[in-house]
Amino acid sequence: MIKAKHVSLNFGSHWALKNCSFSLDKGDFLFLSGPSGAGKTSLLRLLYADLAMQRGQAEIAGFRLDGIKKNQIPNLRRQVSVVFQDFRILPNETVYQNIALPLEIRGLGHQHIERRVKAVARALSLENRLFFKCCEISGGEQQRTAIARSFVINPQVLLADEPTGNLDPDLSLRLMDLFLRFQAYGATVILATHSHDLLRLHPKAKIMRLEDGKITYANWSGAEIFRSAEEPTFG
């Protein structure tokens, strides 16, 4: 479902990712850990084709990211859903409109959209906020709106960057339950987090740690740990 081989990414003289190689199967759940600035967000953006591949090869949900054409990216994003830290919601549209947007883009019928939106909103305790504009609700509610929008399309792959960061413990646990339900239905999930509590609560999940753009730890054989002797020449 996801394969990355010797992926490197730089912003000017700064290398955000260095020679990263890993693979995940359908239905895998991966916690992506590491300190701020380690490269977690860059890796998620690359997998979503929000950043262009520079070095190496990668594939996600049947799409090759190295050399992907711009007209293929919308099709990729029908299969790969993402929740970024900055939410990327439409502040002057309602919660309902934000959640419904990817379904409307697909041309689904009104009744189907309404049923899906209400079901996801109920799961994230947003049913009483559906017809508020997003600029009128709290930051935590905006975050849940972004998460609901990513869930509503039933993606093959779900990428999430610190999705529990602004949520209270009870809601964080409910959200994790939703992620695990998607996994149970066959979705592949990558969840970037700083939370050691989440890692302790899910000991069977795969874990991959990034530091300074390198994979420094993984608890399964599908990831290659960066060795200093293997360090390529960058720049």
pLDDT, position 235:
39
Please give the Cα distance from 134 to 211 (Å, whole number).
Answer: 35
- Burial code (b: 16+ CB inside 10 Å, e: under 16) for 88-121 equals ebeeebbbbbbbbbbbeeeeeeeeebeebbeebb
Segment (H or E) for 17: strand 14-24
| pLDDT for 228 | 62
Per-domain residue ranges for the chain? 2-92+155-230
Distance CA 43, CA 99 (A): 25
pTM value is 0.85
Per-residue DSSP letter, 221: T
- CATH fold for domain 2-92+155-230: Rossmann fold (3.40.50)
> Rounded to the nearest 5 degrees, what angle is found at the Cα of 81, between the Cα atoms of 134 and 220?
130
Give pLDDT tens digits along the chain (235 positions): 899 999 999 998 899 999 999 999 999 999 999 998 999 999 999 999 999 999 999 999 999 999 899 999 999 998 999 887 777 899 999 999 999 999 998 889 999 999 999 999 998 889 999 999 999 998 888 888 988 998 898 899 999 988 876 667 777 777 788 888 888 888 899 999 887 878 888 888 899 999 999 999 999 999 999 876 445 544 3
DSSP-derived letter for residue 62 is T
- Residue 223 per-residue DSSP state: B
Cβ atoms of 161 and 111 closer than 8 Å: no
| Four-CA torsion 194, 198, 203, 208, nearest 10 degrees | -20
Rounded to whole angstroms, how far apart are CA atoms 83 and 147? 6
Structure-token match 């799409």, residue found:
63
- Cα–Cα distance measured from residue 115 to residue 47, given in angstroms and rounded to the nearest whole number: 30
